[in-house]
Structure 1
Amino acid sequence: MTRRITALALALVVSALGAPPVQAQTPRVELTWMSIANWELKIGAKRIWMDAYFSRLPQASFYAPPTLPGDQYAYTRSPQGIDMDAIRKVRDAALGSEKLDLLLVGHSHWDHSWDSPSWAKLTGAPMIGGVSSCLQAQAQGVPAAGCRSVSGGEKFDLGDGITMRVVRFNHSGDASNPIQHFARELYRPPIPDAATGGFRAGVGEDYPNGGGNRAFLFTIDRGGEQLSFFINNSASPFDLDKDIIVDGVNHGSPLNNLRAALRDAGLTQVDAWIGTGGKPVAEQIVPILRPKHYIPNHWDGLFNAFWPGLPFPFKDDNLQAYLREQNIALYPQKQYFDKFILTKAGVQPDANAVLKQKLGFAPEQKFSQALRDAVAMVDSTSIGDDCGEGFAPPSKWAHVFAVMEALRETSGREGLMPRPGIVE
């Protein structure tokens, strides 16, 4: 089932990455979480980014059709633009003059692929994603040759002992929000709004999920020593074991696709999993993936402003208890741009303080006492599985956090609910 990309088809990637000979050295990976599902994967000298969405579209612009009230992000009231100022500020601090080698897109919803084409144009990095992500890139001016469409099962030799396997996955949600959840692709590039140049961000408009999700399995072989990690930015326990079918083409089930990728890589477990979905997803994936370490992904909401930093602490008692039972170490983030250094010795958190200072972030987010007290009252600060923020019924934390935000905004008493990062 796994398809090896030919040398010709790999030209896009190889031309950007090069393929230097494998060095006999201890492999090391730096995994930097940049908010939502935005990641930098620095493998040796190779710098790979995933999604890189910093624009933050307003929640009020989305609405559900009357017949499907659970699909809250199906349509939008107006086209939206791209926050190029935010993108350039992050670019200047995080990259400077350094090269971005590759840009991955997990799926085609706005909170993943909205800014990706702008990064491709700014940096010259080639994109890899689904059909819809590549069509969205074309709509934003990226040449067709600048985005490689993948369906799952592909294997890329990125040089320097790095192999990347594409794993077709599903999207969070279920039958209650079918427009957002079920696999759907675009058939042509979206058309920019004539007046504003913006796009319609709804999942039933220009930004469907793109036929489900594209997850990635990385292996790094250096002189006989190997590291491996798996990253997905959406998943649903509702149908992880069901085949993904788009336009009559069967792309297999996420769990079987993951098994196939591991088998092709000769792996029975991975060193780390950057994962979504909490305990319900972990219970299905852990028996197959058997990760040694777990780093949460896509848990901080969709609409919180980026520049104040982390809006609330990570907490998931059920997931933590399950991982502890499985002897899997959990590494929750404490601030945007937290770095995790993966070696054969394990995972070492790194505050990444110099970069955070450039961006105006504290090394570790400081929260008000009111927020800390609220967190202590709940077993999870999830406000919805990855892209599921706001779906009914809302989580206990979604309700608590919304009430506290409303009190802060309407009371005029900053001490009642300070903005994240401001200590009482």
Structure 2
Amino acid sequence: MDTDTGHRGPRVTSVLRGLRAPGLAPWAHLYEPPAPPLPGAPRAVFLGVSTLLLDDGETAILTDGFFSRPGLLRMRFGRLRPDPARIAAGLRRGGIDRLDAVFVVHSHYDHALDSPQVAAATGARLIGSPSTRNIARGQGFPDDRFQHAAIGEPFAVGAFTLTALPARHGPGDLAPGRIDRPLRPPVRATDYRTGDCYTLHVRHGARELLIHASAHTLPGALDGHRAETVYLGIGALGHQSEAFREEYWHRLVTGTGARRVVPIHWDDFFRPLDRPLRPFRAFLDDFPATMDFLTRAADRTGVRLALPALGLQTDPWPADAAPGTVSRAGRHAGRAGDRGGTGRVR
């Protein structure tokens, strides 16, 4: 076949485009700036997919803790098990030596595969659904360190108050259902069924945020809950209709009074964390379409849009996300996402 793309047929050209991953350069101005540690002030560290560290210097909470990131072929045709070396490297990247809690937003492998190992290695309690409990049991995690995430019931972890709210997995769930017995790895990716799906509401003092990993909503699920910042899952949002995206923004952002949105669950989790993050290839998602929508929605509603950089300590409630700022307020951050960064808040 001719290697000059100008001589390829339209079908071949379309396939090749689908295999490419978009670059992040058009959105580099949105990267969050680093925030120095301050006593008692929470800091957030993004560690890929929907793995997010919140740490105020006394208490540390992690969502999911997915670091193994097996490749696409292994996910599709092989069997999965936690990778201890990649887990240890991921914890080092986040500067994590101990955790008080690991909260699992649902039980697919890209959220829950490593969670029991992460909790075991850091002394944390593991919090999640009955399906996550069966993943933990299959990996030998002690039952007395597991906590069921009861919907709508706030509980304290240090100075943080956490509330699990009901959520819905995005359209096209490839492994729906529950895990009804201990899941002993190695098993297929589709054995990691969704289980209960959560949005995590976090309060620290008077400040509030949401961590919402799946690009879908349940009507009324967030009624009465406010958030200044929403860590917003955008996986496969680019393949949804404009009406779907508008409804998603309305419920998660406008409906919660958020002034700041940080997209999560956009990076290609078939790549290990020792390689630069990149969005999914085009056949899996349309990242440019999603970012175009988010930029327009943020500018229209006066919300700041900020792209998270891997391993960088940031302020979940920055002063420049006050009402009246918009997505371009992050322009001064430059290309922070090209940096590495660890920095446990201590």
Tell me the TM-score normalized by structure 1. Answer: 0.59
Give 2:101's aligned amino acid: L
3-state SS of 2:53 partner: strand
Give the structure 2 partner of residue 163 of structure 1: 161
CA distance in 1 between counterparts of 2:342 and 2:203 reads: 32
Counterpart position of 1:321: 296
Which has the higher relative contact order, 1 or 2, with Cα contacts under 8 A spaced 6 or more apart? 2
State the match for 2:55 in structure 1. 42
Question: CA–CA distance in 2 between the matches of 1:89 and 1:62?
Answer: 21
Aligned equivalent of 1:229, options 209, 224, 230: 209
Q: 1:123 to 1:178 in 2, by over 3 A?
A: closer
Give the residue type in structure 2 aligned to 1:270: A
Does residue 133 of structure 1 match 2:97? Answer: no
Name the SS of the counterpart of 1:154 in structure 2.
Answer: coil
| Structure 1 residues 304 and 159, CA gap change in structure 2 (3 angstroms) | closer
Query: What is the letter of the counterpart of residue 182 of structure 2?
Result: P
Gaps of 5+ in 1: 1-24, 64-76, 193-197, 241-253, 263-268, 359-424
C-alpha distance in 1 between matches for 2:90 and 2:265: 19
- Which residue in the other structure is 1:337 paired with? 311
CA RMSD of aligned residues (A): 2.8
Q: 1:210 aligns with which of 195, 198, 222?
A: 195
Task: Give the distance between the partners of 1:117 and 1:171, measured in 2 at CA.
Answer: 22
Question: What is the CA distance between 1:352 and its match in structure 2?
Answer: 9.4
Find 1:274's aligned residue among 204, 226, 231. Answer: 231
User: 1:387-398 residue pairs with structure 2 within 5 A?
Assistant: none
Aligned to 1:121: 120
The residue aligned with 1:283 is 250
* Inter-CA distance 200–148: structure 2 relative to 1 (3 Å threshold): same
How far apart are the structure 1 equivalents of 2:253 and 2:91?
A: 35
Looking at structure 1, the residues matched to 52 and 74 of structure 2 have their Cα atoms a distance apart, in angstroms, of: 26
8 Å contact kept, 1:153–1:257? no
Q: SS of 2:315's equivalent?
A: strand
1:333-382 deviations in whole A, cap 9, x for unaligned? Answer: 3x421332134624586959996279xxxxxxxxxxxxxxxxxxxxxxxx
| Corresponding position: 1:257 with 2:221 | yes
Q: Percent identity?
A: 22
Larger radius of gyration: 1
Contact 2:161 2:202 in 1 (8 A): yes
Question: Quick check: 2:202–2:210 contact (8 Å CA) kept in 1?
Answer: yes
Q: CA deviation at 1:136?
A: 0.1
Match of 1:90 in 2: 90
Give CA-to-partner distance per residue, 1:197-253, whole Å, 9 cap, x none: x22221xx2x01113x211111122xxxx11111111132xxx3xxxxxxxxxxxxx
Q: Does 1:219 find its partner at 2:203?
A: yes
Per-residue CA deviation, residues 359-410 of structure 1 (Å, 9 max, x unaligned), is xxxxxxxxxxxxxxxxxxxxxxxxxxxxxxxxxxxxxxxxxxxxxxxxxxxx
Number of aligned residue pairs: 277
Alpha-carbon separation, structure 2, partners of 1:121 and 1:99: 10
> Contact 1:37 / 1:233 at 8 angstroms: preserved in 2?
yes
Rounded to whole Å, the distance in 2 between the matches of 1:27 and 1:325 is 34
Local SS of the residue matching 2:68 = coil
Aligned partner of 1:187 in structure 2 is: 180
